[in-house]
Structure 1
Amino acid sequence: MSAIAASFVVRAAAGAANTSDSSSSGAPGGTATTGGAPAGAAAYGGASGSAGPSDFQLVWGVDIFLLSLIALLFVTRTPRFLARLYSFSEWTSGLVLRNRSYFKRTSAPRRVEFPVTQNSGMYEVSLSSDESHTMYQEKAFARRVGETGMPVQGSYPPHVSNCPSFCRPLLKLMHARIHTGLSFSHFLLMLIWLGTITLPAFYATNAFTDPVRFGWIAAAQLPFVYAFGTKNNVIGVLLGVGYEKINFMHRHSARIVLVAVNVHSLGYIYKWCIAKDFMEEIAEPKNYWGLIGLICIDGLFLFSTEIFRKKAYNLFIATHISSLTVLIVAMLYHYRGTVYWAYACAAFYLLDILLRVLKTRVASATLRPIPELGLTRVEIPNINSGWRAGQHVRIRVVSSGMGLIGWSEVHPFTIASVSDSQEGLVLFCKKAGDWTNKLYNLANTCSSEDNIRRVSVMVQGPYGGLGNTMAASFSAAMFVCGGSGISFATSVIQELIQKDLDSQSRVKCIELIWTVQDASCLVPMLPLFTSMIQQSVFTPIRISVFYTRAPTGKFPFSDNFFQSTSLTLSPGRPKFQRHFEEIITRSVSLNSSPKSAGSSGLFVGVCGPVALADSAFDAAGRIEPYHRDQIGGVEVHAETFGW
């Protein structure tokens, strides 16, 4: 294999030499090198008189190594990739949003049957006490049935652990936070990536006297910048993660390009200024195209800083689109030897644009303000299928009520509803900026007789989600949410309930921890929470709501309202460690029966601020090894606000 790879590199170098400009020097934008280097080496930035590899061969070899690293990560995730093949719907869902009209039925098919000999009064589920819910949950009084009334045969998804049991002690180290939102595993990957780039940066060259090599490094890294940064991410699909999970590598590789381009450009500018021929050199087409590329890179860096991303998002996105487009053209005209990498950048970029168009739907939406939560509920009934629980969409509201340029903004929101439901696609848009505040005010402005605001929207997606992780394959599921992050939990829990009623879920118990600022936030969510508890006949759900601020005005609930452990409301912040230990104990006891197949792990879904996710990872790392092995491992999946 190594001989084949070496032969391919030599042929690629020779092919690129034939396409290069004979008047060009050793690197993009460079002047002719001195000495008697062979023509091929000179054309590719090889050191004068050097018998070693050329610059092209060095960076090409580094790219092959980095691609091999990505391939190795893919191989480690292959078992989960293949496990999803157990069901065809696991692959067909979560790709394209659609409308399936036959799901709009007046009544759902019967799925649970209770013997008529039982007291009919026990079918009425109440949250007033533990006794009524316990009786309702008793499996001896219920069974799963299909539409024909026949018992449903179980078809459980295979469970593949994300980490072998002997490697579980390393999870605490890999998940340890070096900085807010930055784990040790992220840091290690970035360190390996940077260390790999260091080899061509300093091998047989001097950045102060010969900036050629850094031009090649920038060109070779740019395809990774495009690949890691696109919404329809090829690398993300291979690894089974959403684009937002590998965006840190987009930034990391972009910083490498930023440094390499500036070292390369400033080195030549310094040479030209010393020789007092800057104006003559910069007038050369290949050199002023190089200057245009430098401006694009530095402009991208400037407008990608946090202040522009959060305070001037439209400016950030406009400069990104324009600069990344011009940059590809600048590469081609700057130096023809970079044609392979320029075409790779264009391929990733155009594929992303094409898939965005194919994933975009235009529909009518209903806006409803929810003052207690400070958010807008967006309902799109004409889109009711095509996503997996936990995925998000990017939405554009086409209305003059959004302001002069508000219609042009696209914002991501997690889908709060389950696919193939009558209510369609539902989003919770929390007031967190100018655009979301305008949306909330627009929802308060009723334009119809039924006191509902209707607008046209463009919805793009779905994106992200659980990837190759199947929550239904775990023995227990726990969700930790903050504020509007409840949308992630409600969608996944409702999907787990549906799968459980169809006998397609291994989950034996579910727990939801929701942290809000005020106790009144529970009021609008109470019907949904009650419904989930009622529907989950065979899998007990426990919902714990915590409020962090003292109630203003009258407390929204009576003193005897919360007498069931199925739904509790408490002041303060949750102690994740205690909740983890409790759900592990409950799950192990439920899986200890002779008919049980054993524990298959605890799934922890986190959605909220970065600090909340870091706290959940820290608590998971402090679980006793004995308890972690009892449950079959603990896996944390985080969806964080911001980027």
Structure 2
Amino acid sequence: MGNSSMDDISIASDSYDLYGEKATVQRTPEVKGSYPPHVLNHVASLRPMLKLMHARVNTGVPFSHVLVMAIWLGAVVFPAFYMTNAFTDPERFGYITASQLPFVYAFGTKNNVLGMFLGVGYEKINFMHRHSGRIVLASVNVHGLGYIYKWGIAKNFMEQIAKPKCYWGLIGLICIDALFLLSVEFVRKKAYNLFLFVHISSLTVLVIAMLYHYKGTWPFAYACAAFYLFDILLRTFKTRVSTAIIRPVPELGITRLEVPNINSGWRAGQHVRLRVISSGMGLIGWSEVHPFTIASVANSPEGLVLYCKKAGDWTNKLYNMASSSSGEDGARKVSVIVQGPYGGLGNCMVSSFSAAVFICGGSGITLATSIMQELIQKDLDGESRVKSIRLIWTIQDPSALSPMLPLFTSMIQQSVFTPVQISVFYTRAPTGKPPFTDDFFRSTSLTLSPGRPKIHKHLEQTISGTTYLNSDPKGGSANGLFVGVCGPVALADSVFAEAGKIDAYRRDQIGGVEVHAETFGW
């Protein structure tokens, strides 16, 4: 939409209604904009390195993560082996273990202190929680087994292990090994409650074991406890108990959950952790907590809205409970505990970019709907620089578009200054006749097509359209392209790959390309 120098001039912008009728809308001189400053998340001269940093070493693992982990490991390995022999002197590995444990706690907490300083959510740096945890696992076993081996050779194991500092050290070793064994992907997916219980209990006992094991570990134990208690305190302040309305959405295979009493306190793109208190969730269903991206904007009449996709036992029970409702409009009321918000876009302001593209799969549409609604409102208030908004949504069946159609048409019609284009793709042959007439999609703003989207093509079209608007002397300079992706890990990886294919000249022309990814998984 330009910059602050455009406050006193009229701005003409082309938009389209649902059926493609072109309309010219102008801001009057009385309506002044307050456009946010755009701050790059990297130095422009380093743009050529982005392709390398975003390159995937493995599924969901970018090179940038590998580089950070390698540097971290190198910083630990050097003092661990400098002028010592791990086979004869395991004591140093005890210090390595103690020094890394505060980072394990800090990287793993939901209210992440390090994330606050970095401006990112806990889920973005959780890979360092796992990496530092592996370092602790290796070092504590070298430390513990080293002493056990020495005591075995000296034939005084029972005498040594009877000492309080030694058996507390053994308890700490067992806690860390139990954490590892019950944190593997199979356990997390099949028995998440067991994983959670062992995590909480072991990490609590571990701090106590450190205090009784050796005085030199006390500062590290206090640091672990401080991070842990700070997280619990903030979780308590961020937790609200309320009544939610649940409805099944069969076309999408999701449960729509609305909490009208919670109507503020989050930013678009953030998520909450949800607990449902109902006998319909099973004997221990009340104990399970699951994260869901917020699909609505703050201060909306419907309150906080979540889309809970059927993806496991808990979400299937929630869907079945919503489906069995005999209440008005097929809705049912349940008690919920909502914790959050967490994550989100951090320091990134989407309204400061020149263009925004959202690429979503299935229930990942929640990220796009919340940010797009916020962008449209900011645009109407003269607080957005975005000149083009594009949504690319991939679903399995065309009928999945039906429940989202009112929201899509509403966004297209409300965005009177900035054109909104929504492209929906379905990947399976329709099971029946689609619930749309043959001439329904006459709009250039809303399309439905078979197959998978050509992401690179859509990105190029957005860049071309935005730079064309910027070619006007009054249009201001380009402030970058924001690309938001929400869906499976494979989708996020493909978007990063396609964004990396954008020509350097085109990247500079648009003012840079920034990709923000939210992925499904544990």
Structure 1 length-normalised TM: 0.78
Identity of aligned residues (%): 73
AA partner of residue 492 (structure 1): I
1:173 aligns with 2:68: no
Establish whether residue 403 from structure 1 lines up as the match of residue 288 from structure 2.
no
Counterpart of 1:341 (choices 211, 220, 230) is: 220
Which shows bigger deviation, 244-253 or 558-567? 558-567
- Partners in 2 of 1:533 and 1:362 — Cα distance? 35
Partners of 2:330 and 2:252 lie apart in 1 by: 20
For residues 437 and 377 of structure 1, the distance between their equivalents in structure 2, rounded to whole angstroms, comes to: 13
Contact 2:353-2:479 within 8 A present in 1 as well: yes
Could you tell me which residue of structure 1 aligns to residue 18 of structure 2?
A: 127
Residues 2-45 of structure 1 show CA distances to partners (whole Å, capped at 9, x for unaligned) of: xxxxxxxxxxxxxxxxxxxxxxxxxxxxxxxxxxxxxxxxxxxx
Check if 1:304 corresponds to 2:183.
yes
3-state SS of 1:379 partner = strand
Q: Deviations over 1:498-521 (max 9, x none)?
A: 100000000000000001111111
* Partner in structure 2 of residue 70 of structure 1: none
Q: Paired residue for 1:359?
A: 238
Q: Which amino acid aligns with 1:548?
A: T
Aligned match of 2:395: 516
* Counterpart mapping for 1:231-630 below 5 A: 231-446=110-325, 448-449=327-328, 451-630=330-509
**1:475/1:602 contact within 8 Å kept:** yes
**Deviation >3 Å, runs of 4+:** 447-451
User: 2-side partners of 1:386 and 1:250: how far apart?
Assistant: 27
Note the alpha carbon deviations across 1:305-352, whole angstroms, 9 max, x for none: 001111100000000000000000000101111111000000000000
Alignment of 1:66-145 (within 5 A): 126-128=17-19, 130=20, 132=21, 134-135=22-23, 138-140=24-26, 143=27
Read off the aligned partner of 2:38 and give its amino acid letter: H
How far is 1:447 from its partner? Answer: 5.2
Rounded Cα–Cα distance in structure 1 between residues aligned with 2:46 and 2:329: 58
Q: Which amino acid aligns with 2:228?
A: Y
Could you list the runs of 5+ residues in structure 1 that have no partner in the other structure? 1-85, 87-122, 145-149
Conservation of the 8 A alpha-carbon contact between 2:394 and 2:424: yes
> Which amino acid in the other structure matches residue 265 of structure 1?
G
| SS of structure 1 residue aligned to 2:474 | coil
Output one character per residue of 1:269-306: Cα deviation in whole Å (capped at 9) or x when no partner: 11111111111111110000001000100000011100
CA contact (8 A) 2:247 2:330 kept: no
Deviation, 1:450, is 5.3
Question: Would the alpha carbon gap of residues 127 and 450 (structure 1) be closer, same or farther in structure 2, given more than 3 Å must change?
Answer: closer
* Residue of structure 2 in register with 1:8 after alignment: none
Q: Matches of 1:409 and 1:367 in 2, distance apart?
A: 17
Classify the secondary structure of the residue corresponding to 1:154.
coil
Task: Give the CA deviation at 1:449.
Answer: 4.9
Measure the CA separation in 1 of the matches of 2:136 and 2:42.
Answer: 33
Q: What is the CA–CA distance in structure 1 between the aligned matches of 2:271 and 2:147, rounded to whole Å?
A: 46
> Matches of 1:615 and 1:314 in 2, distance apart?
32
Q: 1:386-418 deviations in whole A, cap 9, x for unaligned?
A: 100000000100111110000111100000000
Alignment-mate amino acid for residue 575 of structure 1: K
Letter of the structure 2 residue corresponding to residue 259 of structure 1 = A
| Contact kept in structure 2, 1:447 and 1:454, CA below 8 Å | no
CA contact (8 A) 2:395 2:424 kept: yes
What code does the residue aligned with 1:334 have?
Answer: H
In the aligned structure 2, how far is the partner of 1:201 from the partner of 1:549? Answer: 55
- Structure 2 unmatched ranges of 5 or more: 5-14
Please tell me the residue identity of whatever aligns with 2:25. Answer: K
Task: Provide the C-alpha distance between the structure 2 equivalents of 1:210 and 1:346, rounded to a whole number of angstroms.
Answer: 29
CA distance in 2, matches of 1:382, 1:153: 34
Aligned 8 A contact 1:209 1:267 in 2 = yes
The 5 Å alignment of 1:189-204 reads: 189-204=68-83
Instruction: Give the Cα separation in 2 of the matches to 1:449 and 1:641.
Output: 33
- What's the RMSD between the two structures over aligned residues? 1.4
Greater RCO between the two (CA within 8 Å, min separation 6)?
2
Give the letter for the 1:444 counterpart. Answer: S
Aligned residue pairs: how many? 510
CA distance in 2, matches of 1:554, 1:590: 40
Provide closer, same or farther for how the CA distance between residues 152 and 246 of structure 1 changes in structure 2, counting only shifts above 3 A: same
